[in-house]
Structures are given as C-alpha cells and as structure tokens.
Copies of this chain bind each other. A is one copy, B any other.
Amino acid sequence: MKRKITLKQIAKELDVSISTVSKSLRNSPEIGEETRLKVQAFAKFYNYKPNNIALSLKNRKTKTIGIIIPEIVHHFFSTVINGIEQVANENGYSVLICLSDDSFDKEVLNMEMLANGSIDGFIMSLSKETQFKGDFHHITEVINQGMPVVMFDRVTNDILCDKVIIDDQSAAYEAVQSLIDKGRKKIALVTTVDYVSVGKLRTDGYIKALLDNDIPFNENLIIKIEDVDTCEITIGKLLEDKAIDAVFAVNELFAVTIIKTANKIGLNVPKDLAVIAFTDGIISKYSTPTITTVSQNGIKMGNKAAKMLIERLESEEDEEDENYKTEVIETHLIERESTH
C-alpha cells in the first residue's frame, strides 16, 4: 500500500504535537521559527499537502458521523444503519447517510462533500465499482488528513483502517456443511456476476465444505446469475434434470425465486430441494416455506462499527497509535422450513 505522510506521522517523527505541526504548516506566529521551518521542510520533503479538511478538523468537532453505503433498498444495509444510529445516539452523535449507488464517482463525491466540515469520521461499505477499479485514493486522502474511517462488510486490504467484517468463508462453510449433514450431495451455489469481495470468500467456503466431506467439486454447480429472471430459467433446467438436491443462494431474492421455480415444476421444498440463503431479511421470514438463512447480524455490525469510530474520535489524538483492528462479527444459521 502506498501511503502519503500524515500530520500525525510528522508530529511523531519530529516529537512535537499535531497541533504544532498544523500551526507550523499554516505559518502561525504561535510557533517558534526554528520548529516552524523544520516542520515545513519535513513536510515538503515528504510531499505533504495540507488542505482545508485537515485544518478545519483541528478546530471543530461536529459530533456527526458520516455513513456511505452502496444501496438503500437492502435490508442488510438498513439494519447496519440502525445499529450505527443506536450507538451514535447513545454517545451524543448525529448520523448523516449518503448512497454511492454502487458507483465509484458517487462514492468519491459523497466522501468529499461529507469530509468538508460536516462530519468527524466515516463508516462505509465500498461500492462494487470501487472494488472492481481497486482505486481507493479518496479514502486514503481522508485518512491521511486525520479523519478516521471504519469500513464494514465490503472492505479492502489496500486500506489501513478499522474494519468490521463477517467471516464469509466460514459462514458459507457452515451453511454448506449443514446441507451435507442433512444428506444432501448435489449442492449448487447460486451467486451473482460481480466483483464484490465477499462473493469469492463465500465460494471458497462452499468448495472447502464439499472437499472436506469428500464430495467432488463440480464447477457447473456454481451458478452465476444476472437477475431474478435468469435465475428462474437456469435453476428450472437444473431441477428438471435432477442435477441438484440443495441450493446455497447468496441472497434472499435468489432463494425465494428458486423455491417458486421448484414449486412450479411440482417439486417440494425442502423434500426435493433444500434451500439456504445468505443474509437474513424479511423475505425469508415471511415466505412459504420460510427460508433457512445465514444471519449477518447487521445491528451488531453497526453497533461495533460505531463503537470503533467513536473510540478513535474520542481518544487523545496525540497519544493515539495506529493499531487498526479488524473485528469479525459471528454469523449464525437461522434454521427454518426450507431445510427441515
């Protein structure tokens, strides 16, 4: 990872406070000439460019948290926001939410808008496009200016910051293992055609569970699907060929569509086909049959992310270390009718 030097690092290197660095860079007469010139030379050497964000940060606290999420018509992200709101409000923080619509440009613009004095720190989940591009300069910039960022769910190893994730690989492993325990052998993985990091981890978990149980891995049973309509056609064909007896779907919409497809051709769920969906939402709870899901626990994830951000915001900055943490939220299987 390429890093620009931060105010914090300059302060540490020169053994002065961040406020001294900040003031020196603004050529403040409060700072003695020797220190001022030393800081300026050091900053210049490391190509440090101060800007309004960093300067304004030292002067005011907004007591506001900015959230950037990819989409809003999505039960998981909504519950994470509720989780963030709970902890934020308990600690006297307000919350501002922006949507990236899974667009890189919108993510960059929204970060810029929020960072410009409206908030103290970010909680965010990356847009699909950002993950695909691998361009995280907008996030690096904000962090380098001293504004903390906590990432959740869709994260990247290319950025050093606090993160809250679930273990997608073990969650998928556990789900597939539970299908195997119920005697299923022809298990399909129904996933999306995109670049979201979690997709790969879930596939890894699926494959590992099969191999650990001496079930040969058949690449044709990893089904990448564009949308709900193609889901119906593809799965319909597999069901008619009796090629599968269980499905692990990466979202609820695929799972409920698969159940309806099975019913249409006279098959019974769970007797002829067991179904597990990733992410517990309202569809799984209210569909017929109800659907067994892997719960991502969005509330807990939101609580944790808010706690991590507020702790960082309220720690004494000069003493703060940059030991970023990655918290793993436990998932669990919610067993319902679709696998009984």
Interface, chain A (partner B; CB < 8 A): 64, 72-75, 78-79, 81-82, 85, 89, 94-99, 101, 106, 109-110, 113-114, 118, 253, 256-257, 260, 263, 282-283, 286-288
Contacts and interface: CB of A to CB of B under 8 A. Distances in A.
A95 B85 contact: no
A79 B73 contact: yes
Given A94-B109, A97-B97, A81 B72 contact: yes
Contacts of A257: 286
A97 B96 contact: yes
A95 to B, nearest CB: 7
A118 B113 CA distance: 9
Given A64-B113, A73-B78, A283-B283, 18 more contacts: A72-B72, A72-B81, A72-B97, A73-B82, A74-B78, A78-B78, A81-B99, A89-B106, A94-B110, A94-B113, A96-B98, A96-B114, A96-B118, A97-B97, A282-B282, A283-B286, A286-B287, A288-B288
B256 A286 contact: yes
A95 B95 contact: no
A158 B257 CA distance: 46
Contacts of A288: 260, 263, 287-288
A72 B64 contact: no
Contacts of A282: 253, 282-283
